[in-house]
Amino acid sequence: MSISRRVAVGGLAALPFVHRQAQAQQNFPSKPMTLVVPFPAGGPADIFGRNLAERMSPLLGQPVLVENKSGAAGITGIDFVAKANTDAHVMGLMSASAGAIMQSLMPKMPFDPAKDIAPQILVVRVQEVLAINSKLGINDLKSFIAHAKANPGKVTCGSAGTGGITHLAIELFKRETGTDLLHVPYRGAAPATNDLLAGTVDTVLLDISVLLPHVRSGAIKVLAVTSDTRPPLLPDVPTMREMGYPKVNSDNWYALVSPGAALLEHRKKIFDAAAAALKTKELAEAYANVGGVIGGGTSAELAAFLREEQAKWAAVIQAANVKLE
C-alpha cells in the first residue's frame, strides 16, 4: 500500500473518533455535574454553593450536585477540581483563602493556580465587620481606635484562624489605623464569636453572616464594615472608607472555577449558566439573607481581580510577617 493510501485510510479510520469527540463537546454536560464546596456543610460557603447549584441545574440540563471537601483553608477542595484535568463536569467554589492568600503562605501549593484552575465568575462577596461586645461601652470606630492606641498590645481581636482572610483583615486594619491589637486566632468563626459574647475577647473581625443573629439581639455592636459599601442588612453601619481608611477593604468572596485543562466550549456553557443564575432576583435574595452581595462580571474580570487580591494580601503577609501555625 502506498504512503498516500495509508494516510488516507488512517484519516478515514480516525473520522469516527473525531465525530464522537465533536458530539461529546456538543452534548456537554452529558452527566450530572459536581460543584465542590471546600468547606463543611451548613456554613455560609455551603449555603452559597447549594443555592447556585440549584439555579444552574435547569440551565445546564443536568443535576448539579454539591460535594463538600474541606481542609487546608479551602485548598483541599480546589485541588480536587484542579486534578479533574479536562473534566468540566467538576467545578469548584473557590474562596479568598484558596484563591488569593495561601499562595503566599504555603511552602508548596499542591496545584498551580495560574495553570490548573480556570476562573469562571465571581459568585458572591461577603462583607466583614469589626464588632465588639456591647458591654465594652464603646459606640463608634473613632472611640475604639483611640482606646486601642491608649492600650497598645492589650486590646484583643479574634479571627477565624491564623493566615485566613479574617486574620489578614486584622493585620490590614492595624497597619492602616496605626493600632496594635493583640490577634487571637480561633479554629473557626463560631468559637471566636462565642468568646466575644462571653467577653473573653474584646473584638472580632469576621464575616457579617456569622455575626448577624447576635447583632440583631443587641449582644454585639458593629463599629464598621471593611468594604466599600454599607451592608444592606445593616445600613447604619459606616464603611472604613467613610471613616477615613479607604485601604481597609477585606471582603471575603467566593468564585466559580473549572479545571484549567477543561475545553473552552465546556467552560463557556458553565459560565453562561452561572451568569444567568446570578442575574436572578431569587438568588440575590437568598444570598442577601445570609449577608452575601451577589457577584457577576466576566471571566477576564475575575482573573484580573484574582491578581489584584493576590498582590494585596501578599504585601500584608510580608509586612506583618504572618506564618502558618
Summarize pLDDT for 110-122 with one digit per residue, the tens: 999 889 999 999 9
**Residue 10 or 305, more confident:** 305
Choose among 102, 123, 140, 58: nearest CA to 258. 123
Three-state secondary-structure class, residue 133: strand
Mapped onto helix, strand or coil, the DSSP state of residue 253 is strand
| Residue 319, C-alpha cell as written in the block | 509586612
pLDDT tens figures, 21-32: 455 456 899 999
Q: What is the pLDDT of residue 17?
A: 45
Contacts of 21 (CB under 8 A, 6+ apart): none
**Helices 208-217 and 189-198, interaxial angle, to 10°?**
30
Strands 203-207 and 33-37 come out as unpaired
**For position 187, what pLDDT does the model report?**
86
Out of 3.40.190.150, 3.40.50.150, 3.40.50.1360, 2.60.40.10, the CATH code matching 32-125+251-320 is 3.40.190.150
Question: Whole-angstrom Cα distance, residue 35 to residue 50?
Answer: 8
Which of 52, 38, 49 is closest to 274 using CA atoms?
52
Grid coordinates representing 128 are 466583614
Distance CA 121, CA 298 (A): 6
CA distance 244 to 176: 10
Domain boundaries, the chain: 32-125+251-320, 128-225
Contact 101, 168 (CB under 8 A): yes
Residue 258's nearest CA partner among 293, 303, 307 is: 303
The architecture CATH gives domain 128-225: 3-Layer(aba) Sandwich (3.40)
Domains 32-125+251-320 and 128-225 agree in fold: yes
What local confidence, expressed as pLDDT, does residue 26 receive?
67
d(CA 120, CA 269): 10
pLDDT tens-place string over residues 180-239? 999 999 988 889 999 999 999 999 999 998 898 999 899 999 999 999 899 888 999 999
Flag whether pLDDT at 297 surpasses 90. yes
Distance in angstroms (rounded) separating the CA atoms of residues 123 and 112: 22
- Closest among 41, 7, 57, 317 to 162, alpha carbons compared: 317
Of 105-109, 174-178, 208-212, highest mean pLDDT: 174-178
The CA distance from 175 to 248, in Å, is 9
How far are the Cα atoms of 283, 284, 308 from residue 315, in angstroms, in the given order?
34, 33, 11
> pLDDT, tens digit, for every residue of 5-18?
554 555 555 555 44
**CA atoms of 255 and 251, how far apart (whole Å):** 13
**Inter-CA distances, 226 with 216, 247, 272, Å:** 19, 9, 31
| Coil, strand or helix at 42 | coil
N residues, the chain: 325
Q: How many CB atoms lie within 10 A of CB 68?
A: 17
Cα 264–268–271 angle (5° rounding)? 135
The C-alpha atoms of residue 201 and residue 185 are separated, in whole angstroms, by: 11
Average pLDDT over residues 78-104: 95
3-state secondary structure of 220: strand
